Amino acid sequence: MTHDLSAPPTSESAAPLTRTSAHRGAATALFALALGAFAVGTTEVVIAGLLPGIADDLAVSLPTAGLLVSGYAFGMVVGAPLLTVLGTRVPRKRLLLWLVALFVAASLLSALAPGYGVLLAGRVLSALAGGAYVGIAAVVAAGIVTPERKATTIAMVFMGLSLANVLGVPGGTALGQALGWRATVWAVTALGVLLFVALAFLVPQVALAQRNGLRGELTVFRRGEVWRALAATAFGWAPFLTVLTYISPLLTEVTGFAERTVPLLLVLIGVGMVIGTPLAGRLADRALLPTLYGSLAAVAAMSLLLLAAVHSKPAAIVGFLLFGLVGAAVIPPLQTRVLATAHGADQLASAANISAFNIGNAGGPLLAGAALSTGADYTASLWIAAALGAVGLTLAAARRPGTPRA
């Protein structure tokens, strides 16, 4: 089922109805695309809260079970550009449906896994599909609206990831703890089936501009500004996961919260993300570069402010709510900036940017873990987050001499 969202009205009297129908069609399409991001985000993170049960059930150590998390991140980094390259000549809606079909098959494999190896394989396959899906969904979303609303629609897709942290991960964790980890995987599988149906009926075929083919899409990576934009994504997003990875010991050992309150504060961060994502999208549509610079500067500054805030419970509550807001606010302008610099290869560049996000996911916590292993206290993660944010801002602001700013 397709919708022509750009068809002009046939008469003046029909114009309001046409615009209303187009708006409604775009809204339902964006809902379907965001649902996919919600499924991917939930699948990626929810497994962390179920690791003890998985380790016991499959008779592996907890560190071995932890590879289910890092294996998914690796799959996201590799899968986003790889599957996008393989699908260069495939219409975007059809490619999305193929990716969701792979996601459902991988989730089914994980739910039925007789042992750890099969479960790990299912997780990696799911990540391959999920990484490519988010990148292409952002491009499709940008293609069904007018150019001045691109950042807003990209933010709506990534809102699915934010809602995954607020609803999907806590709900999936509770389900897994009550009925076993396989129940959560079955729920994700069912969500994938629902997503497939929603995409098939609600998302239009996006009219494509001139397609350059694989060679043309790869050529865009000769541009230095594309690589700087991707590097800004990796460094600009890294502070969020750097802090989030070690938030539990920060809150319990430094702030003095009881361990049982940590999940509530994580939900608070998720609430901040839900506020920050659409807000940044609207601001980026009005002024992309100021929003990009402001959000990256805010992440670095907020990381430094948390150094003081973590020593007070009320200040920590407010501080982490704001950190969730500014942390998510970097996503729409970073994604929109990459699409702008890679004009002509938006599909592959968008997928590469998903890889950059996941490189930040892995790199920041790795640096913080290395610092902690040398004897640094838990606040070291905040110093590292601030430094990474400053590097991201520097990369975003850098430009080759003679290159226009906008």
DSSP calls for 246-313: THHHIIIIII---GGGHHHHHHHHHHHHHHHHHHHHHHHHH-HHHHHHHHHHHHHHHHHHHHHHTTSH
Task: Please tell me the CATH superfamily of domain 1-208, with its number.
Answer: MFS general substrate transporter like domains (1.20.1250.20)
Q: What would the mean pLDDT of 368-388 be, rounded to a whole number?
A: 89
Q: What would the mean pLDDT of 194-201 be, rounded to a whole number?
A: 94
345/175: higher pLDDT: 175
* Residue 290, token pair as written in the block: 């100021």
Among left, alpha and beta (phi > 0; psi -120 to 50; other), residue 59 is left
Q: Quote the pLDDT of residue 103.
A: 95
Q: Quote the pLDDT of residue 206.
A: 64
151/31: higher pLDDT: 31
CA 396 to CA 238: how far, in whole Å?
14
For residue 293, pLDDT beyond 70:
yes
Q: Quote the pLDDT of residue 396.
A: 92
CA 208 to CA 205: how far, in whole Å?
9
Of 148, 140, 135, the C-alpha closest to 205 is 140
pTM for this predicted structure: 0.75
Instruction: State the SS3 of 82-130.
Output: HHHHHCCCCCHHHHHHHHHHHHHHHHHHHHCCCCHHHHHHHHHHHHHHH
pLDDT tens for 40-71 read: 988 987 887 787 888 889 998 877 887 787 78
Residues in CB range of 377: below 8 A, 6 or more apart = 254
How do the domains of the chain map onto residue ranges? 1-208, 220-406
Same topology, domains 1-208 and 220-406? Answer is yes
pLDDT-derived band at 400, boundaries 50, 70, 90: low
pLDDT tens for 56-110 read: 899 988 778 877 877 887 888 887 787 777 777 788 888 899 999 999 999 999 9
Q: Quote the pLDDT of residue 170.
A: 81
For residue 298, pLDDT beyond 50:
yes
CA 86 to CA 282: how far, in whole Å?
33
Is 1.20.1250.20 the CATH classification of the domain at 220-406?
yes
Q: Quote the pLDDT of residue 2.
A: 40
Place of tokens 């690796």: 74
Answer yes or no: are the C-beta atoms of 237 and 361 closer than 8 Å.
Answer: yes
Q: Quote the pLDDT of residue 14.
A: 36
Let me know the angle formed at the C-alpha of 146 by 80 and 298, rounded to the nearest 5 degrees. 60
Q: Quote the pLDDT of residue 23.
A: 59
Residues in CB range of 215: below 8 A, 6 or more apart = none
* Residue 183, token pair as written in the block: 């129940």
CA 303 to CA 330: how far, in whole Å?
14
pLDDT-derived band at 12, boundaries 50, 70, 90: very low
CA 393 to CA 119: how far, in whole Å?
39
Q: Quote the pLDDT of residue 5.
A: 40
Q: What would the mean pLDDT of 240-262 be, rounded to a whole number?
A: 83
